Amino acid sequence: MGRLFGTDGVRGIANADLTAELALGLSVAAAHVLAEAGTFAGHRPVAVVGRDPRASGEFLEAAVVAGLASAGVDVLRVGVLPTPAVAYLTGALGADLGVMLSASHNAMPDNGIKFLARGGHKLDDVLEDRIEDVYAEHRTGAPWNRPTGAGVGRVKDYDEGFDQYVAHLIGVLPNRLDGLKIVLDEAHGAASHVSPEAFSRAGAQVITIGAQPDGLNINDGCGSTHLELLKAAVVEHGADFGIAHDGDADRCLAVDHAGAEVDGDQILAILALSLRERGALRENTVVGTVMSNLGFKLAMEREGIQLVQTAVGDRYVLESMKEHGYALGGEQSGHVIVLDHATTGDGTLTGLLLAARVAATKRPLAELAEVMVRLPQVLINVPDVDKSRVASTPELTAAVAEAEAELGSTGRVLLRPSGTEPLVRVMVEAADIDHAHAVAGRLADVVKSTLG
């Protein structure tokens, strides 16, 4: 059996890769590992369990709850809520463990299990590895030590979680949103009720699309991975702008009044200036990744804000933020982390803070987004190559150096081996899209000829 945990929990096709038996077994293993680590010492353990609206989440939630309760963990079942809501409630309720059932922006047949530590933070990799090992040991026949009688976990629905989370979001806002007309695309996902409620309570006039989850339509042609419907709706309704979430609402992308996309880098740039103005941008620093658009880097340099770049993945952004105490970080995909108010990316919070900036400045989102100019970015995946030799092939190194010299300060080259596939990603940014395509194509050819 290969390793189960990836960069964002355990994910796969529900009822094929991710079965009820696996969900139950991992939950029991998680309870035993956390008990072994001393997390439950001296008290009766409590877990918060939530899910997105996928049909498979219904049986997987039942399996997770059964596994935890059978291991002596009391369960607060919060129902359909965003991943950041489950993280927030895990911390706010003083729970020992949080569990979210979601496959985020993936298509409906997929699902996933994400375990959260006390406080609502991502579980340490060491503990995830230990959970997987313990699960594997018992899967082969070693019996669990199970409580009986009053020792079994009790399960109850925690309906107050919805209002508690919405109140938290409203409490974070520096100002109200009165006078704004906003279209929200909820991707038929976990924020379909939470997000419109929060924006409405904050004073905005809200129009919703993609907010009728039926268990089967999550992310289906809508949400942050499909902005076409949102762009059309914003223009049709004459809205000030639109916000799009993904299935578990840990991401946020936007479109301006004319239907032009405002991506995660632009949102980060806008929020960085807002936080600095309020004295909340600690160390005058924002965290991005190596895939952050060069236009974002140039904008931050111009504004006198330091940009720290990590490897691709929100986990690396979060690690840097926590290690150095930075307040703001994120990715081009719209996964934005505001660490003073959330332990993970929170799409609803991000959208609210963006809207608050529009309301406070009385400037259109399109104008605020002009803080940075997105340089054209071309990405080519070169498959079936020896990605381990990317940094050690002289001919390739020379080709990259030549391309960088050609682009100068107005462009950038990045060669990145895939973490999961036998391919190399060639990314080129340039002031002109045709130039970017030409340089990327030449480099892709060199990658294929030298590493193929």
Catalytic residues: 104
**Coil, helix or strand for 89?**
helix
Q: Which of 392, 391, 411 is nearest to 403 (CA)?
A: 411
**String of DSSP letters for 370-404:** GGS-PPPEEEEEEESS-GGGGGG-HHHHHHHHHHH
Which amino acid is it at 355?
A
Alpha-carbon distance of 231 to 366, in angstroms, equals 13
CB of 294 closer than 8 Å to CB of 375 = yes
161-172 vs 194-201: helix crossing angle, rounded to 10: 40
Q: What are the b/e assignments for 55-74, b being 16+ CB within 10 Å? A: bbbebbbebbbbbbbbbbbb
CB of 88 closer than 8 Å to CB of 343 = yes
Q: Which of 27, 35, 97 is nearest to 62 (CA)?
A: 27
CA angle 140, 144, 150 (to 5 degrees): 160
Q: Is 445 annotated as a binding residue?
A: no
Extended strands (E) in 194-304? 205-209, 241-244, 253-256, 261-262, 285-289
Q: Is 384 annotated as a binding residue?
A: no
Q: Is 246 annotated as a binding residue?
A: yes
Sheet holding 412-417, edge to edge: 377-383, 423-429, 412-417
CB-side neighbour CA atoms (13 Å) of 450: 21
For tokens 């004319």, the residue is 258
If residue 330 lies in a helix (H) or strand (E), which one and from where to where? strand 328-330
Which amino acid is it at 227?
L
| CA gyration radius, the chain | 23
**Coil, helix or strand for 175?**
coil
The two tokens of residue 421 are: 């596939």
Q: Is 104 annotated as a binding residue?
A: yes
CB of 172 closer than 8 Å to CB of 341 = yes
Alpha-carbon distance of 218 to 99, in angstroms, equals 20
Annotated binding-site positions for Mg(2+): 104, 246, 248, 250
Binding-site positions read 104, 246, 248, 250
